[in-house]
Structure 1
Amino acid sequence: MTRKQKRLTLIGSALGVLALAVGVILFALRDNVVFFYGPGELAEKHVGPGTRLRIGGLVKTGTLVHLEGKSVKFEVTDGKGDVSVTYTGLLPDLFKEGQGVVAEGALDTAGVFKADSILAKHDERYMPREVADALKKQGVWQEGGPAAQGTTPTAATTAAGASK
């Protein structure tokens, strides 16, 4: 066997071992992959019952119902579609109607999403106190936050960083 043949055999073997390792990793992770859909996308995809996934959108106003115990029922909407969600457990402090939410769980046979965890999204206008104080010193801040002036948090953060 020449040096060239030995080198090609070594490279081929290494690629085979690498492909096998990637296959084993993907096989092991297949149960941990959770897809994220909006309610509109969920209706389009026709996801089967029992498939684990995440849905995200806004808690539809007027749909939050507290059931017996720690159970709640509500609808998540993205403007294109709605999904009924049931959840048993403690809700996050930021959870309320009209607020962003991400629910992880599975659809049942009736098309209701049975969530086993709920994450509430905070308002995108959130700004750390230090940044707000810096904006107040510059005279850019008004009560009601940056949204009142049409300033985005990114622009506000940039302005605060420039003053330090």
Structure 2
Amino acid sequence: MRLNRLSEFYATYKAGGVVGFGPGADALTATFDAIKETAQEMKANGLARQGDARVEYDLLRKAKISLRFGTFNHCMFGEHNLAGAKCMENTIVPPGHRGPLIDRCLPGRGANSIIGVEHVKFYRSEKGSLERQLETKKTAPCRRAPCSNRCWGSRT
């Protein structure tokens, strides 16, 4: 199933679509670029006996892309690549645990995070919910004051 979803990402990439946003998406796109280039070289050298799609699928399978699919983002976290993994900062990893600590994920800040097109609806919903909360009279004025962080952009 994971390879099927990864294949869907690759098909989107080949069609010129957006794989996602964030540093993890850039890393995934670079991997897809390498797969596409290798397949083209194999075809040019006569090493690809089967169709291009099958060769690319085999290269995708062999690439060993570490990608964990999630509700709010996907994670390119690799057990051997901890650089930029916000979920692992200042924490004690339980004995025997492998992979990211999902409950500590920071999708907007992690260096391995991919926010895909399918995740945008969750972020829009959250933004709308916060904006509606700001407009209610029960919300304290100090809570309605513009925040200096501007995490959701302007409230216009």
Larger RCO, structure (CA 8 Å, separation 6 or more): 2
Higher helix share: 2
Higher strand share: 1
Whether these two folds match at TM > 0.5 is no
Which TM-score applies when normalising by structure 2? 0.22
